[in-house]
Amino acid sequence: MKTIIFDLDGTLIDSTKAIIESFDVAFKTFNKKTPKEEEIKKLIGLPLDIMFENLGISRDVVWDYVDAYKKNYRQISTKKTKLLSNSKEAVIEAKKFARLGIVTTKTAKYSKELMKYFGLMEYFEVLIGREDVDNPKPHPEPVLKAIHLMKASKKNTFMVGDTCLDMVSAKEAGVYGVGVEGDYTPFNELKECADIVKKDALEAVEFIKNI
């Protein structure tokens, strides 16, 4: 049986509004000027501490910013996150022929709450979040951990994601990466790092089904 591991942000869900607002709150908490929205958006997919560091926050205080971000994010995440077009249909279709997991750089606890809110968590056997690994994507550890916990076969496992972080993680883990078009990674860049690129998660699932 096939196994499909999905990314979350930009692949199944759009939580851009919640992310941008929470970064704004974190910077304002410490009387710092909030970076431009586009600067933040192009870093989405990286772990929060790395995002903050890339936005100029020093390592010795970065976790204070992460904590301020999370405090706000947990209050607004369900209200300011939406399912991407065809993502629910993609999950339902994928479940018909594959076992499913999620690998994300988001916090697993809040990711599970989001997926339960959308009525989708029951379709997934595992959800690997930032706190579940030492090395997040693009390192292969989270993908390999999902495969291990599911006792899945690498040769029948596919990773569906919208960034090169997802595709590199998949490749390093020895599984097939299927890219999906999104707002966080330019199409030409994604095409360079993905085995193949599809319009959305549903098209990716249909492609995997027919392999």
Buried b (16+ CB within 10 A) or exposed e, 121-154: eebbebbbbbebbeebbbbbbbbbbbbeebebee
Helix (H) or strand (E) holding 112: helix 108-117
Contact assessment for residue 167 and residue 15, using Cβ atoms and an 8 Å cutoff: no
DSSP state of 123: G
Q: Which residue has the tokens 């096939």?
A: 2
Distance (Å, whole) CA 10 – CA 20: 14
Instruction: Please report, to the nearest 10 degrees, the dihedral formed by the alpha carbons of residues 73, 78, 81, 84 taken in order.
Output: 140
Closest CA relative to residue 196, chosen from 172, 173, 170, 184:
170
- Give the active site residues: 7
